[in-house]
Amino acid sequence: MSGAVLDNEVCHYEIMGHGRPVLFIHDWIGSWRYWMPTMQSVASLNYKAIALDLWGFGDSARNKRTYTLQDQTKLILKFLNHLNLEKVVIVGHGFGAVLALNFAKQNFHRVDRLFLVSCPMSDSCLHEKLFIDTPFELATWSMEKDVDAHLVMEEIHKTDLQAMRVSLQEVKDMDLQNLWKAGQHRSLFLHGIADLAITSPSERRFLILPDHMHGILIEGGGHYPMLEDTSKFSRLLVEFLMLEPDVSPRTLSIKDKWIRRVR
């Protein structure tokens, strides 16, 4: 277990592998740990997989003064500076996807590309249970029965409810459509059609994405595609990481019957 002291508070993180840096940012429901299978896959292919716990989650510090979206965005910048990383690929899930977009908007040259999983694309896509239930109840409700649930459940008790609620309300109140529409980095959006926590966007919304963005809908997929089928998820991520600078992410798809590629 590794920790960085940032603004006199401890931020927990884990690193696997060596090579081009890929930063994983978790959702409201969970911590760095559920990224572990994907990190192991990526790290075996000459990438440095890095995951941190946001303020109020996992083993990072709990301080109610650091729970806003802007504070969590600043955490990412300070964390990258601490590790002397000039530019990274960011893989964000749920809240982590919003943070990835916000960070990329404010720190354009620090981001290579964005892989955005279950990214809220409008305020109406956030299920009302997110604002009411406990982290444990949400984890139990949002996971498919056959996923590696322990990777989420074993640390869910560490979540500060206030950290989750403050950031949820802030995300609900912000202009999410403007945030992703203004994105200038190559981005791949991945959504499970059966996601209970964050309603997947329509095919029409993906069709209007600019050429440097692409969207894939997973038939039957839930809120944790990285755990529902780690091998398929990891292959898609690696294909995205390997895209040449002049190649659009629209060339990517999961080559299986259980996905719907939006053309």
Of 250, 235, 263, nearest to 187 by C-alpha is 250
Q: Which residue has the higher pLDDT, 258 or 155?
A: 155
pLDDT value at position 148?
81
Using the predicted structure, report yes or no on whether residue 146 has a pLDDT greater than 90. Answer: no
pLDDT value at position 263?
43
Q: Which residue has the higher pLDDT, 29 or 144?
A: 29
pLDDT level of residue 259 (50, 70, 90 thresholds): very low
Of 109, 263, 110, 120, nearest to 180 by C-alpha is 120
pLDDT level of residue 26 (50, 70, 90 thresholds): very high
Using the predicted structure, report yes or no on whether residue 206 has a pLDDT greater than 90. Answer: no
pLDDT value at position 142?
93
Across the range 70-85, mean pLDDT stands at 97
Q: Which domain holds residue 156?
A: 2-261
pLDDT level of residue 256 (50, 70, 90 thresholds): low
Across the range 201-212, mean pLDDT stands at 86
Across the range 154-164, mean pLDDT stands at 96
Using the predicted structure, report yes or no on whether residue 198 has a pLDDT greater than 60. Answer: yes
Using the predicted structure, report yes or no on whether residue 118 has a pLDDT greater than 60. Answer: yes
pLDDT level of residue 255 (50, 70, 90 thresholds): low
pLDDT value at position 1?
72
Across the range 237-244, mean pLDDT stands at 95
Specify the pTM.
0.94
Give the range among 39-53, 86-100, 154-168, 239-253 with minimum mean pLDDT: 239-253
Give the range among 22-26, 38-42, 253-257 with minimum mean pLDDT: 253-257
Across the range 160-176, mean pLDDT stands at 95
Look at the chain and report how many structural domains it folds into.
Answer: 1
CATH code at position 217:
3.40.50.1820
pLDDT level of residue 99 (50, 70, 90 thresholds): very high
Q: Residue 55 in contact with residue 75, Cβ under 8 Å?
A: yes
| Mean pLDDT for the chain overall | 92
Q: How far apart are CA 9 and CA 130, in angstroms?
A: 27
